[in-house]
């Protein structure tokens, strides 16, 4: 009994003193039920982008001492956190929309197309972020431009030249050459809810003709073409191109494998490159356009990654808009996009993509490669993303056949299209 | 001859125990090597670090604010655990001593409540806590932690109380003591042995709780230790080294508390087992 | 507080031990009716003592649970303001859902698997540590150590150890010239590994309970049986096992609860994959609720799970009672 009280007293003293220390901390941390603006950043507490965001926020607060900004870091459960917050009505003032500002969050967000900075909205983001009426719901910090990420050191070892990969057949021979070296051609995380879906999202835009894409948008499922996407994935599986630990690999394992030359290709957003470079700063990484299944020219996938929207119900909407406008100032936007390692989301900011600048110059500035939006976001009804992930996953793990997976996609497509649009 | 086979047997047992202890230390060894290596050190987990790299600990302390989280966790764990012991032992008394049909049903329901998975109540609970303005408040998370850990405490306390001889309580009743007097003067003083395991089991579980406290305490200033460690992992980046360092820092207070309570622990389990 | 002299009140170890021998289960049903009647005369006022606990349960567990029942009749996506009633559709879907059936089986495997291994190893370790060996205090503390760590951290460390490219186990495998093993890539192996990790983490609890039980068995019993010529295995089955019975009950209940509620280790080790094949019911509810955006369906799963828990508790309770009556 006595020991319990000793413990309690000790604990209370320690925690009170610590709480006291914490309260006088940095700008982004302390706020107790005051009128501060809560910004759910979705970023890890030590991430580079959060560091820059803190810096910019501090200078904003010096200019606007009456507005208090509270930057909140997050964990891998971010999407779940946001759903719980939205369901309960306890919505943050500003939050990271991670590619979903229109399809998932638009009914909770203020439209921002009338803001002053909206004139500089990167048109490459229009398909992904604007609705039919031209409204959009978040300030894009960056424009995600992604292709097939490769490790040049591995490809050199296998005698593969990136410039020679124009079709999926070329890709196939490259993968075979890599595999002959005893290295995994394509590494994917099956444990995380997403990377498997990226495979389909990356391949699919090249599997359909313009007319077929229009049909998809109107609610007609073009099954035979969707099947070609899953067939390609199944072929890679049968040829042993995927990492043997696919099912249990986490996204950090993708980063590690890419960094250490244990894999040649990953199909992912470019933030994986920045993570990989943390582990091996000297690795030679880049990205290349995605070949087309129908024989057209290669393309890159572009869309929303780091973007922030303002809650419709925020009590500080005007201040929140002021804050976003400050982030949108060219100097700040450039700095933030640079920390994210991608191209800015506004046209008046300067791109500086670090390690990926060479790839950007090669494919975007010089070759003017077509940029297509995330396939599921534009051509599939809202709510399909999870189906895209789980069906691709079931093909890779052989939990279901291509036909069974296709049937699942089709039935979800039909039922979700009926509910949604 | 008998003696020497006995000695041989003891030697075998000793080797097996040594092996078991080594196996249990492996994950801790990996945590330590991960915490003391920079992320660019890609050597095997089994290879000890070349030098004592402290960068991960600095990141954990400066950027992860681990000490503040430790403080929050100590506050919440201590208060919740004290309340669990108090309310648990109170509730267990009638359930152990007054065996009516109603009380038997109550006992059964309480055992059933142990099994409710936190996720299945998360959204309604969060909505209610929001209406009560209990999000990001200590009292809110303490109430939820106490509720979550009471069923097991009641289970252990009532099992223990049934093992106590009735004679003293009966004598006290004859002397005219009322229920509360009996509880406070006779029962509480002898509960020390079972309180040790209750403190350790609930305390450790509250300290490490992630699935609810991450939601109820989302602001960095009130965040507890498990979500604070989690915030080194996000959708876009992760820092395993800093997380390992933070985990090592987080385990120290529990370790100290355990060593402090350890001597009562086995005794408590003896009594608990003899219900 | 004016405590009575505690020494006088505390049940002395030998008293209790004798109680255990003569009346192995001092339980209501086996008690002579008279004291039970006397106890009842004390009146219901004492029940007030559990009212605070029940109030907490009502507000923070039962009310949210019941709200979940309402959601199970809707097609809610888990975050949008709008939802529509779909009647019993979620429940009919549940009964033809192969994934749910598979995951139920997994949950039972996690529960029973962890329980069985923890009893075997826990008892084995306890018997080993009951011997007068040097360093046994340290061994006890080390074997118990993982109990103090969060399952998320423990799971993460084992996840790293089982890693394909950089895991220590594969470093050992390749050291011996064999090919790397993708440890967590098929569901059977993954389930076995998850059970093993959970067992390693919590075997300390069973060990301590059995150690306590063993120490409460008076050595006279062993001495007496030695005179009758009983040794080793015979002593174990005739004295140790029967006298440990109350310890079994506590340990099994604790481990079964832990195994059936298993969540963090699964999330960290496999994320429920490949496919859905290593999920338990609690992890599947999370996946369906949040990833699949079928909160209504997930709520139906929660309701069915709760009904099964109630059923399970009733069965467990009657089983334990029957054992006590037989004893």
Q: Burial letters for B52-64: b for 16+ Cβ neighbours within 10 Å, e otherwise?
A: ebeebbebbbebb
Higher-pLDDT residue of A406 and A355 is A406
Q: How far is C74 from chain A (nearest CA, A)?
A: 14
Q: Are C53 and B88 in contact (CB under 8 A)?
A: yes
Residue B114 to residues A401, A416, B200, Cα–Cα distance (Å): 40, 38, 17
Please state, rounded to an integer, the average pLDDT across all residues of chain A: 89
Asked if the Cβ–Cβ distance from A246 to C185 is below 8 Å, we say yes
| A170 and A58 belong to one structural domain | no
Give me the pLDDT at residue B267, please: 62
| A181 and A318 belong to one structural domain | no
Please indicate, yes or no, if residue C245 is contained in any of the structural domains: yes
Residue C306 to residues B118, C65, C185, C294, C315, Cα–Cα distance (Å): 12, 9, 31, 18, 14
CA distance A206 to C300: 40
State the CATH number of the domain containing residue C191: 1.10.3720.10
C53, C250, C305: residue with CB nearest B273 = C250
Please indicate, yes or no, if residue C128 is contained in any of the structural domains: yes
| A226 and A95 belong to one structural domain | no
Asked if the Cβ–Cβ distance from B234 to A30 is below 8 Å, we say no
Give me the pLDDT at residue C22, please: 28
Give the list of residues 6+ apart from residue A272 with CB closer than 8 angstroms, or none.
A149, A251, A254, A255, A258, A266
Asked if the Cβ–Cβ distance from B227 to A75 is below 8 Å, we say yes
Q: How far is A261 from chain B (nearest CA, A)?
A: 12
Please indicate, yes or no, if residue C11 is contained in any of the structural domains: no
SS percent in chain C: helix, strand, coil, step 5: 75, 0, 25
Percent of chain A whose pLDDT exceeds 70: 91
State the CATH number of the domain containing residue A339: 3.40.190.10
For the cut 60, the answer to whether the pLDDT of residue A19 exceeds it is: no
Give me the pLDDT at residue C233, please: 83
* Local confidence band at B269 (pLDDT 50, 70, 90 cut-offs): low
| A268 and A288 belong to one structural domain | yes
Residue numbers of chain C with a pLDDT score lower than 50: 1-41, 325-327
Residue A83 to residues A45, A101, A139, C77, Cα–Cα distance (Å): 21, 13, 20, 9
Q: Strand A184-186 and strand A263-267: pairing?
A: parallel
Please indicate, yes or no, if residue C84 is contained in any of the structural domains: no
Give me the pLDDT at residue A394, please: 94
Question: CB of C273 within 8 Å of any CB in chain A?
Answer: yes
Give me the pLDDT at residue A34, please: 63
Asked if the Cβ–Cβ distance from C282 to B120 is below 8 Å, we say yes
* Local confidence band at A22 (pLDDT 50, 70, 90 cut-offs): very low
A22, A25, A44: residue with CB nearest B231 = A44
| A379 and A414 belong to one structural domain | yes
Task: State pTM to two decimals.
Answer: 0.88
Q: Tell me how many domains chain A contains.
A: 2
> In chain C, what residues touch B208 (CB-CB under 8 Å)?
149-153
| A288 and A391 belong to one structural domain | yes
Give me the pLDDT at residue C250, please: 81
Asked if the Cβ–Cβ distance from C150 to B247 is below 8 Å, we say yes
* Local confidence band at A239 (pLDDT 50, 70, 90 cut-offs): very high
Asked if the Cβ–Cβ distance from C160 to B30 is below 8 Å, we say yes
Asked if the Cβ–Cβ distance from C166 to B42 is below 8 Å, we say yes
Higher-pLDDT residue of B239 and B2 is B239
Q: Are A269 and A146 in contact (CB under 8 A)?
A: yes
Task: Read off the tokens for B156.
Answer: 């252990």
Question: CB of C241 within 8 Å of any CB in chain B?
Answer: no
Q: Strand A299-304 and strand A370-373: pairing?
A: parallel
Q: Which residue of B has its CA nearest to A54?
A: B63
For the cut 80, the answer to whether the pLDDT of residue A71 exceeds it is: yes
Interval B183-230: pLDDT, tens: 888 888 888 878 888 898 899 999 999 889 889 998 888 999 999 999
Asked if the Cβ–Cβ distance from A76 to B85 is below 8 Å, we say no
| Residues of B (26-85) whose Cβ lies below 8 Å from A | 39-40, 42, 59, 63-65, 67-68, 70-72, 74-75, 77-79, 82, 85
> In chain B, what residues touch C46 (CB-CB under 8 Å)?
93-94, 97-98, 179
Interval B27-47: pLDDT, tens: 999 999 999 999 888 888 888
Question: CB of C277 within 8 Å of any CB in chain A?
Answer: yes
Give me the pLDDT at residue C133, please: 82
Supply the range of the domain harboring residue A294: 148-302+370-420
- Which among B212, B230, B226, B224 is positioned nearest to B128, based on CA atoms? B212
Using alpha carbons only, give the angle A326, A327, A332 rounded to the nearest 5 degrees.
Answer: 105
| A359 and A381 belong to one structural domain | no
For the cut 90, the answer to whether the pLDDT of residue A14 exceeds it is: no
Q: Tell me how many domains chain C contains.
A: 1
CA distance C252 to C317: 13
| A296 and A154 belong to one structural domain | yes
CA distance B215 to B230: 12
Interval A281-296: pLDDT, tens: 999 999 999 999 998 8
Supply the range of the domain harboring residue C184: 98-326
Percent of chain B whose pLDDT exceeds 90: 48
| A276 and A374 belong to one structural domain | yes
Residue to test with chain B: of A2, A15, A313, A342, most B Cβ within 10 A: A15
Task: Read off the tokens for A297.
Answer: 């020219």
* Local confidence band at B26 (pLDDT 50, 70, 90 cut-offs): very high
| A160 and A191 belong to one structural domain | yes
Interval A177-206: pLDDT, tens: 999 999 999 999 999 988 999 999 999 999
Interval A131-168: pLDDT, tens: 989 999 999 999 988 999 999 999 999 999 999 999 99
Asked if the Cβ–Cβ distance from A190 to C274 is below 8 Å, we say yes
B123, B164, B274: residue with CB nearest C20 = B274
| A245 and A103 belong to one structural domain | no
Asked if the Cβ–Cβ distance from C269 to A248 is below 8 Å, we say yes
Please state, rounded to an integer, the average pLDDT across all residues of chain B: 87
| A313 and A291 belong to one structural domain | no
* Local confidence band at B270 (pLDDT 50, 70, 90 cut-offs): low
Please indicate, yes or no, if residue C210 is contained in any of the structural domains: yes
User: Half-sphere exposure (CA, 13 Å, Cβ side) for A213?
Assistant: 16
Q: What are the backbone angles phi and psi of residue A95, rounded to the nearest 5°?
A: -145, 160
Higher-pLDDT residue of B102 and A5 is B102
Any chains having at least 3 CB pairs less than 8 A from chain A are B, C
> In chain B, what residues touch C166 (CB-CB under 8 Å)?
42, 44-45
Please indicate, yes or no, if residue C310 is contained in any of the structural domains: yes
Higher-pLDDT residue of C180 and B178 is C180
Give me the pLDDT at residue B51, please: 87
Q: Are C172 and A257 in contact (CB under 8 A)?
A: no
Q: Which residue of B has its CA nearest to A81?
A: B215
């Amino acid at each position: 009994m006595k020991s319990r009280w000793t413990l309690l007293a000790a604990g209370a003293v320690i925690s009170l003193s610590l709480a006291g220390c914490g309260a006088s901390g940095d700008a982004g941390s302390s706020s107790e039920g005051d009128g501060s603006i809560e910004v759910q950043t979705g970023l890890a507490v030590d991430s580079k982008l959060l560091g820059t965001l803190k810096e910019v926020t501090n200078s904003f607060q010096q200019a606007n001492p009456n507005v208090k900004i509270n930057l909140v870091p997050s964990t891998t459960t971010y999407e779940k956190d946001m759903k719980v917050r939205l369901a309960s009505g306890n919505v943050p003032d500003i939050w990271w929309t991670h590619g979903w500002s229109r399809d998932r969050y638009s009914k909770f967000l203020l439209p921002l197309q009338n803001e002053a900075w909206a004139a500089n909205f990167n048109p490459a983001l229009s398909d992904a972020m604007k609705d039919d009426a031209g409204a959009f719901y978040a300030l894009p910090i960056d424009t995600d431009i992604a292709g097939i990420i490769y490790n040049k050191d591995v490809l050199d070892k296998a005698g593969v030249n990136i410039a020679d990969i124009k079709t999926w057949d070329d890709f196939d021979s490259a993968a075979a050459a890599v595999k002959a070296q005893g290295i995994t051609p394509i590494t994917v995380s099956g444990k995380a809810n997403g990377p498997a879906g990226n495979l389909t999202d990356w391949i699919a835009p090249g599997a359909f003709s313009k007319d077929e894409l229009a049909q998809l948008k109107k609610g007609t499922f073009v099954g035979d073409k969707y099947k070609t996407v899953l067939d390609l994935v199944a072929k890679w599986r049968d040829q042993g191109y995927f990492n043997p630990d696919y099912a249990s690999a986490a996204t950090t394992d993708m980063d590690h494998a890419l960094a250490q030359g244990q894999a040649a290709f990953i199909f992912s957003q470019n933030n994986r490159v920045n993570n990989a470079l943390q582990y091996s700063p000297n690795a030679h990484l880049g990205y290349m356009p995605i070949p087309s299944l129908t024989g057209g020219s290669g393309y890159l996938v572009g869309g929303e990654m780091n973007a922030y929207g303002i809650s419709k119900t925020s009590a500080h909407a005007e201040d929140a808009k002021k804050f976003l406008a400050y982030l949108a100032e060219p100097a700040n936007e450039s700095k933030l996009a640079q920390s994210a390692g991608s191209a800015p989301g506004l046209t008046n900011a300067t791109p500086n993509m670090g390690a990926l600048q060479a790839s950007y110059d090669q494919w975007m500035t010089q070759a003017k490669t077509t940029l297509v939006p995330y396939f599921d976001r534009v051509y599939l009804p809202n709510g399909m993303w999870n189906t895209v992930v789980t069906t691709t996953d079931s093909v890779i793990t052989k939990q279901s056949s291509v036909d069974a997976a296709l049937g699942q996609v089709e039935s979800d497509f039909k039922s979700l299209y009926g509910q949604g649009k | 001859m008998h003696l020497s086979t006995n000695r041989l047997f003891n030697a075998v047992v000793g080797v097996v125990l040594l092996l078991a202890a080594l196996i249990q230390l492996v994950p801790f060894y990996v945590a330590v090597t991960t915490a003391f290596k920079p992320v660019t050190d890609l050597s095997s987990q089994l290879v000890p670090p070349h030098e004592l790299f402290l960068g991960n600990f600095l990141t954990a302390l400066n950027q992860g604010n681990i000490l503040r989280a430790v403080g929050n966790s100590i506050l919440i764990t201590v208060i919740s655990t004290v309340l669990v012991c108090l309310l648990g032992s109170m509730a267990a008394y009638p359930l152990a001593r007054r065996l009516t049909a109603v009380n038997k049903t109550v006992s059964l329901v309480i055992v059933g409540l142990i099994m409710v998975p936190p996720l299945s109540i998360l959204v309604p609970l969060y909505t209610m806590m929001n209406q009560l303005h209990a999000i990001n408040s200590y009292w809110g998370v303490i109430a939820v932690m106490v509720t979550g850990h009471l069923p097991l405490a009641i289970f252990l306390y009532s099992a223990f109380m049934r093992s106590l001889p009735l004679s003293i309580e009966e004598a006290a009743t004859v002397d005219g003591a009322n229920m509360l007097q009996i509880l406070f003067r006779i029962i509480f003083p002898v509960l020390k042995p079972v309180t040790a395991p209750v403190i350790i089991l609930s305390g450790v579980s509250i300290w490490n709780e992630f699935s609810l406290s991450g939601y109820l305490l989302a602001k960095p200033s009130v965040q507890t230790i498990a979500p604070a460690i989690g915030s080194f992992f996000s959708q876009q980046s992760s820092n395993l080294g800093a997380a390992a360092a933070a985990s090592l820092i987080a385990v120290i207070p529990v370790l100290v508390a355990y060593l402090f309570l350890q001597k009562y622990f086995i005794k408590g389990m003896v009594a608990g087992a003899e219900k | 507080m004016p405590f009575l002299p505690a020494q006088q009140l505390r049940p002395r170890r030998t008293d209790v031990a004798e109680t255990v021998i003569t009346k192995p289960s001092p339980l209501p049903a086996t008690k002579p009716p008279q004291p039970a009647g006397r106890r009842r005369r004390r009146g219901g006022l004492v029940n007030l003592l559990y009212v605070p606990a029940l109030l907490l349960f009502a507000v923070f567990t039962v009310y949210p649970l019941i709200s979940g029942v309402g959601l199970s009749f809707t097609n809610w996506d888990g975050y949008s303001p709008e939802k529509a009633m779909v009647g019993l559709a979620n429940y009919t879907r549940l009964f033809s859902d192969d994934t749910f059936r598979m995951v139920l089986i997994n949950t039972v495997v996690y529960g029973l698997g962890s329980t069985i291994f923890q009893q075997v190893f826990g008892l084995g370790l306890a018997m080993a540590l009951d011997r007068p060996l040097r360093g046994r205090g340290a061994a006890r503390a080390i074997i118990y150590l993982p109990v103090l760590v969060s399952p998320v951290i423990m799971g993460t460390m084992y996840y790293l150890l089982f890693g394909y490219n950089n895991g220590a186990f594969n470093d050992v495998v390749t050291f011996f010239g064999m090919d790397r093993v993708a440890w967590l890539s098929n569901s059977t192996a993954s389930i076995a590994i998850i059970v093993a990790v959970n067992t390693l983490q919590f075997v300390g609890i069973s060990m301590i309970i059995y150690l306590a039980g063993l120490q409460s068995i008076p050595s006279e019993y062993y001495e007496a049986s030695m005179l009758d010529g009983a040794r080793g295995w015979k002593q174990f089955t005739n004295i140790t096992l029967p006298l440990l019975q109350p310890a079994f009950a506590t340990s099994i209940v604790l481990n079964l609860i832990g195994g059936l509620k298993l969540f963090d280790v699964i999330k960290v080790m496999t994320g429920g994959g490949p496919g859905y094949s290593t999920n338990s019911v609690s992890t599947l509810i999370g996946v369906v609720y949040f990833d699949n955006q079928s909160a209504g369906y997930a709520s139906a799963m929660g309701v069915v799970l709760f009904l099964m828990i109630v059923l399970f508790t009733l069965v467990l309770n009657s089983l334990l009672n029957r054992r006590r009556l037989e004893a």
